[in-house]
């Protein structure tokens, strides 16, 4: 934590492209999570099971939340909801609705099938999307790794969603184990997991996180030069 960062920090970016470039170059989930903790946002990390398919994958973008539900027949002959008679529900429409710098973030299903795959990644990349974060499994792993599309999931599992789950809505509020995800919140993920930065707090959180990350580099250099941890914290308030 940084005990000396109570003052306001001027914003260093003009738009999402500039902010996300700074985040990719200088930030990581741990430092952003620390700042959110200090700001009273203490439940912003998604479950630790959600990890990148490759350790180098990094995602930052605006949440495009997608709500999935389990089904028990690929083509139900009964029932009132015509939507559920479509092979994937609204999944194809949700995928095609992705915008530049958005993250497809999906929950609502039991973790019994894959919620993301190679063809979905291909389409998302074509649309300029930033990545995919699913509260469940992904598949077509070799293909996704060849594409290099940032994908965060419980891991690799090939069982298909088509006869088991359908997207029932998108661009709606979600909750993933107590973490609220609103459309347009910022999704940040790296090797240490995924956190959600609420839109109404993003300017303060990222300004302070950039300051803290830059301070940590300075403190690391002082420690490498021989300063003790105790002395470094007393002088700089960072550890």
CATH number, position 116: 3.50.30.40
Q: Which pLDDT value is given to residue 10?
A: 55
The answer to whether residue 121 sits within a structural domain is yes
- The answer to whether residue 150 is domain-embedded is yes
pLDDT at 205: 97
HEC readout, the chain: CECCCCCCCCCCCCCHHHHHHHHHHHCCHHHHHHHHHHCCCCCCECCCCCEECCCCCCEEEEEEEEEEEECCCCCCCCCCCHHHHCCCECHHHHHHCCCCCEEEEEECCCCCCEEECHHHHHHHHHCCCCEEEECCEECCHHHHHHHCCCEEECCECCCCCCCCEEEEEECCCEEECCEEECCCCEEEEECCEEEEECHHHHHHHHHHHHHHHHHHHHHHHHHHCCCCHHHHHHHHCEC
Q: Which domain holds residue 24?
A: 16-42+200-236
5 in any annotated domain: no
Do residue 168 and residue 64 come from a single domain? yes
Q: What is the pLDDT of residue 99?
A: 98
pLDDT value for 77: 66
Tell me whether residue 36 is in a domain: yes
Do 126 and 192 reside in the same domain of the chain?
yes
Is the CB of residue 150 less than 8 Å from the CB of residue 30? no
Domain membership flag for residue 94: yes
pLDDT value, residue 237 = 80
Check residue 112 and give its pLDDT.
93
- What is the model's pTM? 0.91
**pLDDT, averaged in runs of 10, over the chain (239 residues):** 44 92 97 97 98 98 97 76 87 98 97 97 98 98 98 98 94 98 98 98 96 89 91 83
pLDDT, position 61 = 98
90 and 136 fall within a common domain: yes
pLDDT at 76: 65
CA distance 99 to 16: 13
For residue 28, being part of any structural domain is answered with yes
Same domain, 207 and 187: no
- Do 69 and 164 form a contact (C-beta atoms < 8 A)? no
pLDDT at res. 232? 86
Same domain (yes/no): 214, 137? no
130 and 144 housed in the same domain: yes
Are 174 and 222 members of one domain? no
For residue 8, being part of any structural domain is answered with no
- Do both 129 and 170 map to the same domain? yes
């Amino acid at each position: 934590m940084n005990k000396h960062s109570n003052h306001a920090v001027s914003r260093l970016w003009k738009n999402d492209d500039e902010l996300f470039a700074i985040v990719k170059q200088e930030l990581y989930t741990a430092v952003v999570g620390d700042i959110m903790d200090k700001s009273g946002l203490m439940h912003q990390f998604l479950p630790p099971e959600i990890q990148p398919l490759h350790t180098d994958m990094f995602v930052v973008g605006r949440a495009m939340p997608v709500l999935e539900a389990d089904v028990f027949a690929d083509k139900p002959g009964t029932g009132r909801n015509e939507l559920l008679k479509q092979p994937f529900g609204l999944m194809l429409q949700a995928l095609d609705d992705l915008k530049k710098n958005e993250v497809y973030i999906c929950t609502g299903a039991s973790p019994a099938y894959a919620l993301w795959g190679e063809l979905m990644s291909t389409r998302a990349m074509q649309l300029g999307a930033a990545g995919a974060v699913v509260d469940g499994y992904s598949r077509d792993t070799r293909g996704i790794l060849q594409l290099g599309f940032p994908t965060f999931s419980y891991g690799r599992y090939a069982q298909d969603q088509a006869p088991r789950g359908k997207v029932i809505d998108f661009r709606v509020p979600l909750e993933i184990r107590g973490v609220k995800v609103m459309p347009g919140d910022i999704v940040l993920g790296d090797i240490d997991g995924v956190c959600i930065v609420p839109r109404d707090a993003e300017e303060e959180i990222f300004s302070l996180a950039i300051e803290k990350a830059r301070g940590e580099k300075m403190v690391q250099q002082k420690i490498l030069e021989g300063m003790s941890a105790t002395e470094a914290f007393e002088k700089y308030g960072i550890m």
